[in-house]
Copies of this chain bind each other. A is one copy, B any other.
């Protein structure tokens, strides 16, 4: 699950947000931040490995664009978790409404 690691960094998250607006070259992305070009390049590498961005060469420029794969994986994970949770919510809600004060001890 490289997706979460990739997005845990604010700079990388910002890059993804920028690319959501449209593709950009590595240099153009770099201009949006106060860090060195190598730093940006490393961030892009991480995002690429997490399948969050794609690269395309155009002359000397590397044009970066969003890759839907990583986002889908992320969304799937969240839905899987929320799916379970929703089922339990139904039960929980009913119980809360039925007996709001009761505290139950559950055996190990």
Contact = CB atoms under 8 A, between A and B. Distances in A.
A84 B13 contact: no
B4 A85 contact: no
Interface residues of A, number: 31
A98 interface: no
A89 interface: yes
Interface in A49-97: 58-59, 66, 68, 71, 74-75, 78, 80-82, 84-85, 88-89
Contacts of A82: 68, 71, 75
Copies of this chain held together in the complex: 2
Interface of A is mostly: helix
Interface of A: 1, 4-5, 7-8, 10, 13, 16-17, 20-22, 28, 58-59, 66, 68, 71, 74-75, 78, 80-82, 84-85, 88-89, 103, 105, 108
